[in-house]
Chains A and B, each alone.
Chain A
Amino acid sequence: MTEISFYLTVALYGAATLLYLSCLVRATPCQAITARRVLVIGFLAHCLAVIHRFIAAGHLPITNMHESLSFFALSIVGIYLYFETRYKVSTLGSFVVPFALLIISGAGLLPTTIKPLNPALQSAWIYSHTILAFGAYAFFTISCAVAVLFLIQSHFLKKKNLGNLFLKLPSLDILDEIGYRCLAFGFPMLTVAIITGAIWASRAWGSYWSWDPKESWSLITWFIYAALLHGRLTTGWRGKRAAILTVIGFLIMLFTFIGVNLWLPGLHSYT
């Protein structure tokens, strides 16, 4: 059952990706309603798969790479759907949904065996720490996509290159607002995730902070987004350079999330 809904999800995300991309390249106006519907169904199938696995494992299914990637994709799609509904920006989907497909396909290639949770980690803190961390990751993913769109659109406007893509992309203002919202939601979530993680660590491992690679890189990520938010709140910092830093922040976040687990063994390695 978990398998079926998981592969159904992959297929639906794949279909949604094609639909969103075709909408982006087609010359005629296009509302991407079908793409959105397919994505919603895929999202529901994904929720089902995660819930099912939750019941089967008896704990939140984010204890190995397969589960983590799957949960990451779920958070991205969920938050994306919120922004698409709120701001009517289906072109954003042409960038976010393929990424979600990539992540969930990656999850599909990894071993799916359920392993019992290390007794040291069995605690209610798992919910607040991990869910908040994944939420923050998903918000930062969207903010990166928005920043890329901002850079493209701004480039078009500066170079007076007003083609088909220019017409389809949202206005700079909407992109800026979505980006700011992502930051305003994602940053506090990351902050609380790090704090709850520290508390949980002190309970499980006996120390609040042990300079585990994951912890160090999280801190770097935190500093970048802190700088972005600080700049925004004090001087209204935005525009091209802020967008570039957002993309850099995302790449570092991605390394914190995936790269550290793959290449830098530490307390957070779970395989």
Chain B
Amino acid sequence: MNIIVVGLSHKTASVDIREKVAFSPNSIEKPLRELVALEGIVEGVIVSTCNRVEIYATTRDIAGGIARIRRFMAEYHHLAHDLLEPHLYSFHGEEAIRHVFRVASSLDSMVVGEPQILGQIKTSYGYAAEYKSSGIILNRFLHKAFSVAKRVRTETRIASSAVSVSFAAVELARKIFGNLTDKTVLLIGAGEMCELAARHFLTNGAKGVMVTNRTFERAQKLAEEFNGEAIPFEELFLHLHKADIVLTSTGAPHAIITPPDLEEVIKRRRMRPMFLIDIAVPRDIDPAVNEMDAVYLYDMDDLQQVVAANLEGRMQEADKAEAIIAEEIIQFYKWVGTLEVTPTIVALRNRFDDLRRAELDRTLAGWKDAPADAEKRLEALTSAFMNKLLHQPTMVLKKAGQGNRNDLYLDALRALFDLELGTTETDDSLELEE
């Protein structure tokens, strides 16, 4: 049995292609059923996110299986085969396993380390399990992929640093305030960046938002949106001390907050720290305030540098993650190997045993004056003979199953003894043995 992967992602297809082949989660049952009904395809899982559409399947016939799934992806969405073909990639064997492990670990994501992809694959797998399109191999395979992703997450810092300016601001705030639950955010001016950051602070637990703007109506509108409090711009310094986190992005031509302004504010705050984020260009806050005790000022450049450094850090962590994945592939491959070998061994034994039994019956049937214990003795003799004969090949096969070159032995055996293997459904016992 072989694992194959067919799909496309943000790396191979633009969004106008990706949206055409996306599978809606609301009607995922139909494609899953059609997928496993394809000739030679035993199990199947469909992963469909905004950045990738991929099908994981198991098949005996690698080339045929891949070709049929490639065609299926186009035909299911009523697309011309030629349109999709250049964007599709496909993997089998070790490459397929590596690919899925990398995707689950978010190494193949647009933003390396982003946390959503793992959840998306889990959901996709959930559908496949629900509609029984995945079987023991994909079950085991995807659970392994989840545990690999978890290992990557805990053992590397791939996802620990913020890679957007507004998240970087939230993380910095956490390093200053610990948790943000009783913290108040003040927005001075409006602007997309500012609002986005404020929203991040709120979703990360900040208590409330105050908004001020030169046009009071705009402040009111924005405050309403955040369920916060609007403050007239002239009263800024009457309220500034209540804010722990200040976001500024006004169009003012010169600084609106200077060190002397903050002296008083800090006193009123009993010297509790303040985190000022100045997104405006030209800047709204005099950079000199960063020299004041208890004031931490970051401007747009600072935040962007943090993000750049974090991204670079993620790339370094990605190398560690690749090493973890390589390690896990070897382990998983061992299991896949034994999965292939065991049915062959069983088939081989069955074949020998059938022959033995047939010959035994024939001998006994033609033996008129056989002593009473003849059957027992012959049974013992032939069994012992068969077991001795099969012992060495069995050992060699089991050993080969742990490595990667078992195909040679298996093909030879199947040809030499004309073995027919059961389908994976009969392999359930293997799962229990594990």
Contacts and interface: CB of A to CB of B under 8 A. Distances in A.
A29 B157 contact: yes
B286 to A, nearest CB: 15
Most buried by A among B160, B175, B176, B296: B175
Contacts of A237: 271
Contact of A172 (B176, B267, B269, B270): B176
A28 B176 contact: no
A237 B272 CA distance: 9
B160 A167 contact: yes
Contacts of B296: 157-158
A174 B155 contact: no
A160 interface: yes
A173 B178 contact: yes
A238 interface: yes
Contact of B271 (A158, A167, A236): A236
Contacts of A157: 172, 175-176, 296
Contacts of A172: 175-178, 273
B23 interface: no
A241 B156 CA distance: 37
A235 interface: yes
A101 to B, nearest CB: 29
B290 interface: yes
A162 B294 CA distance: 18
Contacts of A241: 293
Contacts of B39: none
Nearest to B174: A171
A28 B157 contact: yes
Contact of A27 (B157, B272, B291, B302): B157
Contacts of B172: 157, 162
Contacts of A28: 155-157, 320
Interface in B49-77: none
A237 B306 CA distance: 30
A240 B293 CA distance: 6
A153 interface: yes
Interface string B314-330: 00000010000000000
Contacts of A240: 293
Interface in A17-65: 27-29
B123 interface: no
Contacts of A160: 298, 302, 305-306
Interface residues of B, number: 29
Nearest to A158: B290
A259 interface: no
Contacts of B306: 160, 162
B154 A166 contact: no
Contacts of B271: 235-239
Contact of A173 (B156, B160, B176, B309): B176
Given A171-B175, A238-B271, A162 B160 contact: no
Nearest to A87: B178
A39 B290 CA distance: 39
Interface string B172-212: 10111110000000000000000000000000000000000
Contacts of A238: 271-272, 294
A240 B157 CA distance: 30
A235 B293 CA distance: 14
Interface of B: 154-157, 160-161, 172, 174-178, 267, 269-273, 290-291, 293-294, 296, 298, 302, 305-306, 309, 320
Given A167-B160, A235-B271, 16 more contacts: A29-B154, A29-B157, A29-B160, A157-B175, A158-B290, A162-B172, A167-B161, A171-B175, A171-B176, A171-B177, A172-B177, A236-B269, A236-B271, A238-B271, A238-B272, A241-B293
Interface of A: 27-29, 153, 157-158, 160, 162, 166-167, 170-174, 235-241
19 contacts: A28-B156, A28-B157, A29-B154, A29-B155, A153-B175, A157-B175, A160-B305, A160-B306, A162-B306, A162-B309, A171-B175, A171-B176, A172-B176, A172-B178, A172-B273, A238-B271, A238-B294, A239-B293, A241-B293
